[in-house]
Amino acid sequence: MKKLIAALATVAAFSAQAAETLTVAATAVPHAELLEFVKPQLAEQGVTLNVKVFTDYVQPNIQVAEKRLDANFFQHQPYLDEFNKGKGTDLVSVAGVHIEPFGAYSSKHKSLDALPNGANVVIPNDATNGGRALLLLAKAGVISLKDGAGITATPKDIAENPKNIKVRELEAATLPRVLTQVDLALINTNYALEAKLNPTQDALVIEGSDSPYVNILVARPDNKDSDAMQKLAAALHSEEVRKFIEEKYKGAVVPAF
């Protein structure tokens, strides 16, 4: 009888451990790939990780805030701050994982100097990534921005525009699809990688590894410190993940831990 009770207790303990489940939203590359990579490690710790792939930057936050998902992994802190401010949510960062240096791409021109007068340029239409694109163009000398224009800069903040470029704002996910129709597109690295672009080879200009836009695992205040969430954060900070990032993405994605 004692052996039976002990066996039942072991089964119960295992079931309780195995019952830990996290459902995490992610964009396909590299976020979902990183989550899939750590799945076996988490399973060994009794955490079942379900990865749901999204193609936009809005629904992953909304669904976490509404408790339809446990967490998401696709964004950087400036974007999260603007989202919380605009939507009245209180999502929080759990861990910073990697940097995706942001780049400018062209299928028509081989350098920024080759951009024609009146060139058509497209940038993301969300506040922080649009501002990030303009800051990169300013750093490259294509434009200059008004004093004080920062990560939320808009085309209205352009102070000098020697080439008279025409800037349009489009949804970030659509930018690779219009690359052949414009002179220059500033594309988030996750979408560039999905489109089979190699940021370190194909971008005409790209952020350095000192970019402040660290991609973060995001959750709610009520679950950010849960055992399962902390196990996921630890797994994403493992040396195995560092090696995976360095070998698979070859500089297009950079570990931030």
Domain that holds residue 95: 20-100+213-255
Instruction: Give the pLDDT score at 208.
Output: 76
Residues 62 and 137 in one domain: no
Residues 123 and 193 in one domain: yes
User: Do 42 and 124 reside in the same domain of the chain?
Assistant: no
Can you list the pairs that 79-85 forms with residues at least 24 positions away whose Cβ atoms lie under 8 Å? 79/126, 79/128, 79/129, 80/216, 80/218, 81/128, 82/126, 82/127, 82/128, 82/152
In terms of Cα–Cα distance, which of 99, 74, 98 is closest to 206?
99
Instruction: Give the tens place of pLDDT for each residue, 224-252.
Output: 999 999 999 999 999 999 999 999 999 99
Question: Domain total for the chain?
Answer: 2
Rounded average pLDDT over 60-64 = 98
Average pLDDT for 41-62? 97
Claim to verify: residue 146 and residue 230 sit in the same structural domain: no
- HSE-up (13 A, CA, CB side) for residue 87: 18
Residues 113 and 202 grouped into a single domain: yes
We report the CATH number of the domain holding residue 62 as: 3.40.190.10
Q: Are residues 75 and 150 in the same domain?
A: no
Tens of pLDDT, residues 160-172: 999 999 999 999 9
Which of 199, 203, 219 shows the shortest CA–CA distance to 99?
A: 199
Gyration radius from the chain CA atoms = 21
| pLDDT band at 211; cut points 50, 70, 90 | confident
Q: Is the pLDDT of residue 15 over 50?
A: no
pLDDT in tens, 85-132: 999 999 999 999 999 999 999 999 999 999 999 999 999 999 889 999
Give a yes or no: residue 4 inside a domain.
Answer: no
Q: Are residues 177 and 126 in the same domain?
A: yes
pLDDT band at 33 (very low <50, low <70, confident <90, very high): very high
Nearest to 29 by CA among 91, 73, 87: 73
